[in-house]
Chains A and B, each alone.
Chain A
Amino acid sequence: DTAVSQTPKYLVTQMGNDKSIKCEQNLGHDTMYWYKQDSKKFLKIMFSYNNKELIINETVPNRFSPKSPDKAHLNLHINSLELGDSAVYFCASSHRKTQYFGPGTRLLVL
């Protein structure tokens, strides 16, 4: 029933660790996104994929690597986590420009 799902919902980890966040959409959309929402609640786009192909890559550190195994999935892998990576990460998909957001993954780096 869930349209855009993300796992995990919460992620607490130590600095320097590597972690992944998974996203899946069952809406049949071609375009998927990763957004970061900082502590001031400001949203910023990180990546966008269209049919498994990277189309937007904002100025995001190389430690962040998105992977789209198929058009229903867009995962985010983060290497060498830093304190500043603490944020809420939202996955989304779109159809005719309307955005459908996942519930978010709250990442806390200690």
Chain B
Amino acid sequence: KNEVEQSPQNLTAQEGEFITINCSYSVGISALHWLQQHPGGGIVSLFMLSSGKKKHGRLIATINIQEKHSSLHITASHPRDSAVYICAVQEGNEKLTFGTGTRLTIIP
């Protein structure tokens, strides 16, 4: 069974700050997902990665397969980035195992 840990659980930062959210897992995976859940409740997939690094706008996701670790970075953070960010790992059979989420609050 894959154990997925995220840190920090809660993060409050000023607008413009560089944000890093970490995710570690215990067992080899086929893919890792970063999801965003807004206060309204909807869940959006930000990234799906199996190696290296991906960038989308101000968001960057990296993964180190050997260390079983991934990070999500947000550059020039903005209040609209306030949300819960969830890491999920996927093993071969499509099953996703989720982390407990990181609640991010960006203060103007």
Contact = CB atoms under 8 A, between A and B. Distances in A.
Interface of A: 31, 33, 35, 40-45, 48, 50, 55-56, 58, 88, 90, 94, 97-101, 103-104, 106
- Interface majority SS (helix, strand, loop, mixed), chain B: strand
Interface residues of B, number: 23
B31 interface: yes
Nearest to B88: A43
14 contacts: A31-B94, A42-B100, A45-B95, A45-B97, A48-B94, A48-B95, A55-B94, A88-B41, A94-B94, A97-B94, A98-B33, A101-B43, A104-B41, A106-B41
A59 to B, nearest CB: 12
Contact of B31 (A48, A50, A97): A97
Contacts of B93: 55-56
| B43, B45, B84 pick with most chain A CB within 10 angstroms | B43
Contact of B48 (A45, A50, A98, A106): A98
A100 B94 contact: no
B98 A103 contact: no
A48 B45 CA distance: 18
